[in-house]
Amino acid sequence: MTDWQAVVGRHAGGMWQTAYRLLNNHDDAADCVQDALLAALQIARREPVRNWAALLSRLVTCRALDRLRRRMRRAAVEDTPLDWAEVASDDAGPVQQAQAAELADRLCGALTELPQQQAEVFCLRYFSRLSYRAIARQLDLRPSAVGVVLHRARGRLQELLEPVVSEEKNHET
């Protein structure tokens, strides 16, 4: 029998941070955490869970990516800009905050265009800050395969974000 309160207490904070980094919205992050915890509970009822941290991290990452994809599709259909909160920084002025918010918006949009495995590996590496080994264990891959998937994800993101970088360079000159 699993001590569910201990599992939630130990992992909910990290889950929320992962979801919030992707969604940049408190309510959406909380909903993702709740959905992931419910899914984990259902899994735990069917089979024993050997690695709660890996299971919960993967579930919340998948839920957040799914929610982000729905948000992007809905924004495209409604043809309305997304309402992203400004990226807070003590040192950044309004222009830098606006640029950071726009870049975060574009990055999240680009993540929704990646294949699921590439998006998961990218998020686990850069948002959850997991090592290649931890990602490999979580996704049942070899660490070298994680490197390959991450390389492909970064390459595809670079392609998707290239127009943004080129546009920024043109405005600076």
The CATH code of the domain that includes 125 is 1.20.140
User: Mean pLDDT over all residues of the chain?
Assistant: 82
pLDDT one-digit tens code per residue, 111-149: 888 998 999 899 888 888 888 998 898 888 999 999 999
Provide the pLDDT confidence category of residue 35 given band limits of 50, 70 and 90: very high
Q: Please answer whether residues 125 and 97 qualify as being in contact, where contact means their C-beta atoms are separated by less than 8 angstroms.
A: no
With beta carbons less than 8 A apart as the criterion, state whether 136 and 148 touch.
no
Task: Report the candidate in 19, 167, 173 with the shortest Cα–Cα distance to residue 99.
Answer: 167
Question: Are 112 and 74 spatial neighbours (Cβ–Cβ below 8 Å)?
Answer: no
By residue range, what is the domain housing residue 50?
Answer: 4-172
> Has this prediction a pTM greater than 0.85?
no
Instruction: State the total domains in the chain.
Output: 1
